[in-house]
Chain A
Amino acid sequence: MKNTMTKTKKIALAGLLAALAFGLSYIEFLLPFDAVGIPGFKLGLANLAVMLALYRLGSGEAAAVSGVRLVLSLLLFGSVTGFLYSVAGAVLSLAGMIVLKRTNRFGVPGVSVAGGVLHNAGQTLCAMVILGTAGIVSYLPLLLITGAVTGAVNGGVLFMILKRIGEKKHE
C-alpha cells in the first residue's frame, strides 16, 4: 500500500488528532490526579496525539495539533495563568521532541520521555519567572522523575500503536 498522503488527507488527519488531543486533555481534567500528592502531576495523555501527529504527519502538524489543544483547553476549562504554564510546557516539550526525533538516535519511547520531562521543566521554569522566585526548583527533581516515567509509559503505548499503523513513509 502506498503511504503518501494528499494535502486534504493530511489536514483531515491533523484535525482528527487535534480533537483526540483535546478529548484526552478533557479526560485528564476529569481525573483528580492532584490527589496523588505530587504538585503538577499529569499523565500527559494529550501528548499521545501530538506525537502521533509528529510521527505520521510532521513537525508543523504536531505544533498545530498542540496549539489547537491548548486554545480549546483554555476556552473550556482553563485559566489564563494556567494557560501560560501549559504553553511554556508544550513549546519546550515539542521543540525537544522534534530535535530528538531529527537526530534519528532515539526511538519513540526516548522522544516521549524527553517530551514528558521537558513539559514539566518548562512549567517549572515558567513558575519561576511568574512567581519571581528560584525556590520552585525544589519541585524539579520529583517533576523530572514523574515526567520521565509518564513519558516512558506513553512512549511504550505509542510505540505499539505506531508498530500497527506504521510510521510516515517518504512522500
Chain B
Amino acid sequence: MKKNDLFLLLGVLLAAFLLFLGLRLFSGNGEAVEITVTGDVLGVYPLSEDRIIPVADCAEVRIEGGRVHMAFSDCPNQICVRHAPIARVGQTIVCLPNGIAVRILGDGGFDAVVG
C-alpha cells in the first residue's frame, strides 16, 4: 500500500464528480429526443407532445409530459426499462443488447439532424 494508491482513488472520484457536474451544468431541459439503432438515426421527436414510438419490433419508447422513458424492451437484462425517465440535454438511455440509444437533444436538435 502506497500513498499514491490513495491519491489515485481520490483523483478518480474527483474526476468522476467533476465530469458529473460538467455534464449537469451544461444541460438544460431538452427540446427533442433522438432515437438511434446501432448508430442509424431512427427519428427525432419533439418532447412537447406525448407519443409512443415502437423501435425495430423489439422495444418501445414513450414520450410523456416532456420526459422520455423506455416502456418496453425484449432484451434480457431490462436495464434500459428500469432507467429513470430523462428530459435534460445529453441524457441518454441505452439498451446495449438491442443497440438502441435514446438521447435528449437541445436547441437546434432538429437542425442538426435535418440540416
A interface with B by C-beta (< 8 Å): 34, 37, 39-40, 79, 81-82, 85, 105-110, 113-114, 117, 127, 130-133, 135-142, 144-145, 147-148, 152, 155, 159
Contacts and interface: CB of A to CB of B under 8 A. Distances in A.
Interface of B: 1-2, 4-6, 8-9, 12-13, 15-17, 19-20, 23, 36, 38-40, 77-79, 82-83, 90-92, 94, 96-97, 99-101, 103-104
Contact of A114 (B6, B8, B100): B8
The 10 closest A-B pairs by CB, nearest first: A132-B39, A110-B5, A135-B92, A141-B20, A144-B16, A135-B103, A107-B2, A148-B12, A141-B16, A109-B5
14 contacts: A34-B77, A34-B78, A39-B79, A39-B83, A81-B96, A107-B5, A110-B6, A110-B8, A113-B9, A131-B38, A131-B99, A136-B101, A145-B13, A145-B16
Contacts of B99: 81, 130-131
A108 B1 contact: yes
Given A117-B12, A148-B16, A141 B1 contact: no
B79 A131 contact: no
A107 B12 CA distance: 16
B9 A152 contact: yes
State the main secondary structure of chain B at its contact with A. Answer: mixed
A39 B101 CA distance: 14
Contacts of A130: 38-39, 99
Contact of B101 (A131, A142, A147): A131
Contacts of B9: 109-110, 113, 148, 152
Q: Which of A109, A110, A130, A135 has the most CB of B within 10 A?
A: A135
B94 A136 contact: yes
A166 B9 CA distance: 24
A144 B83 CA distance: 18
Contacts of B5: 106-110, 113, 155
B1 A113 contact: no
Nearest to B12: A148
Given A130-B38, A141-B19, 9 more contacts: A37-B82, A109-B9, A110-B8, A131-B100, A132-B39, A138-B23, A139-B94, A141-B20, A142-B20
